[in-house]
Amino acid sequence: MVLEKLKETLSKTRKLFAPIEQLFAGSQTQAEILDELFELLVLADLGVASSQKIIKDLKEKSKKSHQPDLMPLLKQELIDMLSSERGRASQVFPAVWLLVGINGGGKTTSAAKLAYKYQTEGKKVMLTAADTFRAAAQEQLVLWGKKLNLPVIQGQPGADPASVVYDALQSFKARNYDLLIIDTAGRLHTYAHLMAELEKIKKVISREVPGAPQEVLLVLDSTTGQNAIVQAREFNRFSGLTGVFLTKLDGTARGGSVLAIVEELKLPIKYVGLGETEKDIMEFEPEAFVEALLS
Ligand SMILES: Nc1nc2c(ncn2[C@@H]2O[C@H](COP(=O)(O)OP(=O)(O)OP(=O)(O)O)[C@@H](O)[C@H]2O)c(=O)[nH]1
Ligand SMILES: [Mg+2]
């Protein structure tokens, strides 16, 4: 079921992986196959470095295991790569989670998805919009709050986002909620003052709730490509990321970049976004992901 949904979501990416299956089914020698495989992996957005590593490992493993069929080896190799930075979302509650990322990556939608998921699991969830810059940004989150029937703490337009977070934390503590999800304004990782603002927000959270934030998730659009690495580095510097919420896997043909992201960012992908509704969220599972790509 999950697999069917993933396959459907990844249908465009799967088209890029289909030639790999054809290659393996052909009658070439293993050496010829491995040569061509490199090119196909790069074309499927795995990045040159990751593709080279895969080919090198496959050569060694196929020699050792005398395995003539490369497909199971390739699948295991991809799963191992994706599992190197494996990590489930924090199970600690009460918790404060912070969502950060550049403009339009999907932070607000992802905040709603997480709220829906944890609410469904019986948690009392509260949202806050630490985006006082755009009135529409707060309204968007308030609409989600109405739809999901959960409270949204708002600030005055133009107020210091850290002060809005402070107010939200007081309310969160006083009302004994389980999870506070903080949506932040989109910001370019190259704007120092905006990045410093995140640092300040994080300080307020740790001061008001010891041990928090339990998650600082970089919300990353899966169509971003190599720029994701640069973004992640900067966001990590200012807000200490705990993982990635990878959005818009549906509709992109660049699902293969997931592998490059894990390999190069050294950050676990905790959740993926598969559409625009609150239900389009999935925990990231390397096995299911690889099976959906190559079957
Ligand atoms: N197809 C698809 N669309 C998504 C997904 N996540 C978000 N979107 C869409 O992407 C657009 C931007 O999403 P937002 O949640 O507003 O992004 P944001 O990061 O909060 O944007 P700013 O606050 O402006 O920085 C919206 O049209 C969303 O519906 C996803 O997983 N799949
Ligand atoms: Mg937003």
Question: Which superfamily does CATH assign the domain made up of 95-241 to?
Answer: P-loop containing nucleotide triphosphate hydrolases (3.40.50.300)
- How does pLDDT run across 216-255, given as a tens digit for each residue? 999 999 888 768 888 888 899 888 999 999 999 998 888 8
**What residue spans define the domains of the chain?**
95-241
Q: Is the CB of 138 under 6 A from ligand 1?
A: no
Q: Is the CB of 108 under 6 A from ligand 1?
A: yes
- How does pLDDT run across 51-62, given as a tens digit for each residue? 999 999 999 998
Q: Find the DSSP H helices in 84-134.
A: 107-120
Tokens of 214: 């339990």
Q: Find the DSSP H helices in 102-211.
A: 107-120, 135-148, 161-174, 192-208
- How does pLDDT run across 71-92, given as a tens digit for each residue? 999 999 999 989 888 788 999 9
**CA 34 to ligand 1 centroid distance, Å:** 38
**CA 107 to ligand 1 centroid distance, Å:** 6
- How does pLDDT run across 6-27, given as a tens digit for each residue? 899 899 999 989 999 999 988 8
Tokens of 240: 């200490």
Q: Is the CB of 94 under 6 A from ligand 1?
A: no
Nearest residue by C-alpha to atom 6 in ligand 1: 106
CA distances from 149 to 12, 112, 120, 127, 281 (A): 35, 11, 12, 11, 18
Q: How far is it, in rounded angstroms, from Cα 201 to Cα 102?
A: 16
Q: How far is it, in rounded angstroms, from Cα 25 to Cα 185?
A: 48
Asked if residues 40 and 20 have their Cβ atoms less than 8 Å apart, the reply is yes
